[in-house]
Chains A and B, each alone.
Chain A
Amino acid sequence: MQKIYTRTKTIQQDKVSGFCPGCMHSTIIKLIGEVLEELDVVDRTACVLGIGCCGLQMDYMAYDNSTAPHGRACATATGVKRSNPESLVFTYQGDGDLASIGLAETMSAANRGENISVIFVNNGIYGMTGGQMAPTTLIGMKASTAPKGRIADEHGYPMHMCEILNQLTAPVYLERTSCNNPANTMKTKNAIKKAFRNQLDGKGFSMVEIVTSCPTNWGLDALASLEYIEEKMLPEFPLGVIRDR
């Protein structure tokens, strides 16, 4: 029998994912691994992980990685990349990490045009700590620290990081994708590849924002979460290329 699909070698073969059922982190991590293999850069890659569920992959990814202080991934990645310009350096961060506690580090690395790639996983909620409100939580969406749902007058509005970074001059590539269906998942893979290629070509700062789900903290099953993305998340966070230079 012909083997037409194998697991990416960038995930240690004897390890299992620690993610909840329906979580898209495992999909995105697989996509990243496939891209690294296709670009043949696994042995010169360094991933800087944020704090939160995004860091759960540290046990089973097979390539160099570190964990930054909460929110500081873009600053830590700056240090790694400037120290070893020949490395492919990317951050992998959730919405709380990148858009709340790490807003200054994200904006400043983007503004400096650091030659790094940022993979931003946006599911509108804090996952690991148990469903607290994030900067990207939708209006009306319930969270464990917003029991009546996000109220604009009290909590402000969801933050659109791609559009915010698009105000800066330096970033070269900003795209928002999703993994809610096979077509969008393939677009996400292509976007990751483009972000990495930009870095290898020395072009500068790229960010791919991936709109995902959190079935556990949304209180929905995996399928209902996909519908929620389509009906609620994507109207607030429209997909597409925001900048490509």
Chain B
Amino acid sequence: MARLFMKGTEAVAEAAVRAGCRFFAGYPITPQNEVPEYLSRRMPEVGGVFIQGESEVASISMVYGAASAGTRSMTSSSSPGIALKSEGISYCASALIPMVYSNFARGGPGVGSIQPAQQDYFQATKASGNGGFQMMVFAPSSVQEAVDLTYEAFDLADRDRNPVCILADGVIATMMESVEFPPMKSNVEIDAIKESKREWALVGHDFEKEKRAWIEPGHWQTKDMQKANEDAAAMYLEWEKDIRVEEYGLEDAEIVLTSYGISARVVKSAVSILRAEGIKAGYIRPITVNPFPYGAYDHINYDKCKAVLNVEMSIPAQFGVDVKVGVKDRCPIEHCLCSGGNIISRNAVLDAAKKIMKG
């Protein structure tokens, strides 16, 4: 199909529809209000359901219900709203309910600021709710990538029967870019997806012939709860094969910049300038921030690399903590950070890189 010029929020919403999402519940919060607004128009066109919930906690609970009934379902919010949704996200993880949510992150903590930030990294990758569960977390750095990852996220959520998080930010949300959409799933395909969940979903079962569906977000017996934790942990290990990362120029790099999401976009531009100026710079951009591509940092040529420069829109650094695990003290790590709704500037990144090279 023809390329379209679209805002990130609306493009993500359309990608979800094309992936077969037929239930969305959400609550207004800046900077992602166009997701519910778009879907309030779009869902009825495709026979789907849109509900503006009375709160974030209610919205995620509606998604929990709809997804428990076998329908591909989604919610969306921004940082403080995601904190509220963490209750339902944890329930989905515990009860093995597949669903997708997007976080168009803004400054924090608290009500924070409405401008873009990357201050929800730990929340997304380490503790999105109580109980130590994990999710696959995708960090798009363009509207097109947000579309592609959202579309695929539904397949991965269904594969694992686990929530999948799209960790974007206020820039991806509000920026307009040219995008090409994946194909629209047909009603036949969508029905088949729902049918494939029949055994466990709340679609009604004849208890004299088959087992009831029992959506269990917990277990009375501690041995059963531990078994569920062990099964989840085994699944998380299998995500190693799903790791996605973009690497550039690591073989000869004297300085390696690392970043994710929108700040990686700035980093890529800075690296090409540094190369043009004769500084051998490379970069590592995790696309999955959970599972984290720690192994990518083994590809750095530590005989040549003077330092790794972590660039993120969070003070203190959060992504940088995972970078440290990957680098394993093989070279110094410096940080170029901003926070609170400020967008990382290319000049700040260039200055930080040049300072390291001079030092």
Binding site for B on A (CB under 8 A): 9-10, 42-46, 48, 58-59, 61-69, 72, 75-84, 87, 104-105, 107-108
Contact of A79 among B68, B207, B212 (CB under 8 A): B68
Residue among B87, B95, B214 facing the most chain A CB atoms (10 A cut-off): B214
Given contact pairs A65-B215, A76-B62, enumerate 15 new A-B contacts (beta carbons under 8 Å): A62-B212, A66-B65, A66-B213, A66-B214, A66-B217, A72-B61, A78-B62, A79-B23, A80-B65, A81-B65, A83-B73, A84-B70, A84-B202, A87-B203, A87-B204
Closest chain A residue to B90 by CB distance? A69
Closest chain B residue to A42 by CB distance? B207
Contacts of B68 in A (CB 8 A): 66, 76, 79-80
Residue pairs across A and B with Cβ atoms less than 8 A apart, 8 shown, are: A43-B204, A64-B205, A65-B215, A72-B87, A82-B66, A83-B22, A104-B54, A105-B54
Q: Say whether, besides A64-B204, A69-B57, A59 and B91 are in contact (CB < 8 Å).
A: no
Q: Say whether, besides A45-B204, A67-B217, A83 and B71 are in contact (CB < 8 Å).
A: yes
Q: Say whether, besides A72-B61, A76-B65, A66 and B215 are in contact (CB < 8 Å).
A: yes
**Shortest beta-carbon distance from B53 to chain A in Å:** 7
Closest chain B residue to A62 by CB distance? B207
9 closest Cβ pairs, A-B complex: A79-B65, A66-B215, A79-B66, A72-B61, A44-B204, A76-B65, A75-B61, A108-B54, A83-B69
Contact assessment for B212 and A75 in the assembled complex, using a CB-CB cutoff below 8 Å: no
Contact assessment for A43 and B207 in the assembled complex, using a CB-CB cutoff below 8 Å: yes
Contact assessment for B208 and A69 in the assembled complex, using a CB-CB cutoff below 8 Å: no
Q: B residues 48-106 with Cβ under 8 Å of A?
A: 49, 51, 53-55, 57-59, 61-71, 73, 87-88, 91, 95
**Shortest beta-carbon distance from A91 to chain B in Å:** 10
Contact assessment for B214 and A65 in the assembled complex, using a CB-CB cutoff below 8 Å: yes
**Shortest beta-carbon distance from A146 to chain B in Å:** 26
Residue among A45, A58, A69, A87 facing the most chain B CB atoms (10 A cut-off): A69
Contacts of B59 in A (CB 8 A): 75
Q: Say whether, besides A46-B69, A76-B61, A69 and B91 are in contact (CB < 8 Å).
A: yes
Contact assessment for A9 and B208 in the assembled complex, using a CB-CB cutoff below 8 Å: yes
Closest chain B residue to A18 by CB distance? B220
Q: Say whether, besides A64-B212, A83-B70, A46 and B204 are in contact (CB < 8 Å).
A: yes
Contact assessment for B49 and A67 in the assembled complex, using a CB-CB cutoff below 8 Å: no
Interface string of B169-189 (1 = CB under 8 A from A): 000000000000000000000
Q: How far, in whole Å, are A105 and B55 apart by their CA atoms in the complex?
A: 9
Binding site for A on B (CB under 8 A): 22-23, 25, 49, 51, 53-55, 57-59, 61-71, 73, 87-88, 91, 95, 202-208, 212-218, 220
Closest chain B residue to A85 by CB distance? B49
Q: How far, in whole Å, are A64 and B191 apart by their CA atoms in the complex?
A: 20
Closest chain A residue to B92 by CB distance? A69
**Shortest beta-carbon distance from B39 to chain A in Å:** 14
Closest chain B residue to A88 by CB distance? B204
Contact assessment for A72 and B57 in the assembled complex, using a CB-CB cutoff below 8 Å: yes
Closest chain A residue to B217 by CB distance? A67
Contact assessment for B216 and A68 in the assembled complex, using a CB-CB cutoff below 8 Å: no
Q: How far, in whole Å, are A77 and B25 apart by their CA atoms in the complex?
A: 13
Contact assessment for B61 and A46 in the assembled complex, using a CB-CB cutoff below 8 Å: no
Q: Say whether, besides A79-B69, A82-B66, A84-B70, A64 and B216 are in contact (CB < 8 Å).
A: no
Contact assessment for A64 and B220 in the assembled complex, using a CB-CB cutoff below 8 Å: no
Q: Say whether, besides A46-B69, A64-B202, A69-B88, A104 and B58 are in contact (CB < 8 Å).
A: yes
**Shortest beta-carbon distance from B201 to chain A in Å:** 8
**Shortest beta-carbon distance from B275 to chain A in Å:** 51
Q: How far, in whole Å, are A82 and B55 apart by their CA atoms in the complex?
A: 18
Contact of B69 among A59, A75, A84 (CB under 8 A): A84
Contact assessment for A9 and B207 in the assembled complex, using a CB-CB cutoff below 8 Å: yes
Closest chain A residue to B202 by CB distance? A46
Contact assessment for B215 and A67 in the assembled complex, using a CB-CB cutoff below 8 Å: yes
Contact assessment for B204 and A82 in the assembled complex, using a CB-CB cutoff below 8 Å: no
Residue among B65, B71, B91 facing the most chain A CB atoms (10 A cut-off): B65
Contacts of A65 in B (CB 8 A): 202, 212-215
Q: How far, in whole Å, are A9 and B208 apart by their CA atoms in the complex?
A: 9
Contacts of B53 in A (CB 8 A): 75, 108
Q: How far, in whole Å, are A67 and B213 apart by their CA atoms in the complex?
A: 12
Closest chain A residue to B53 by CB distance? A75
Q: How far, in whole Å, are A108 and B61 apart by their CA atoms in the complex?
A: 13
Contacts of A79 in B (CB 8 A): 23, 25, 61-69, 73
**Shortest beta-carbon distance from B66 to chain A in Å:** 4
Contact assessment for B65 and A78 in the assembled complex, using a CB-CB cutoff below 8 Å: yes
Q: How far, in whole Å, are A69 and B65 apart by their CA atoms in the complex?
A: 10
Contacts of A66 in B (CB 8 A): 65, 68, 95, 202, 213-217
Q: Say whether, besides A9-B207, A43-B206, A83 and B66 are in contact (CB < 8 Å).
A: yes
Q: How far, in whole Å, are A67 and B63 apart by their CA atoms in the complex?
A: 14
Closest chain B residue to A68 by CB distance? B61
Q: How far, in whole Å, are A68 and B87 apart by their CA atoms in the complex?
A: 10
Contacts of A48 in B (CB 8 A): 65
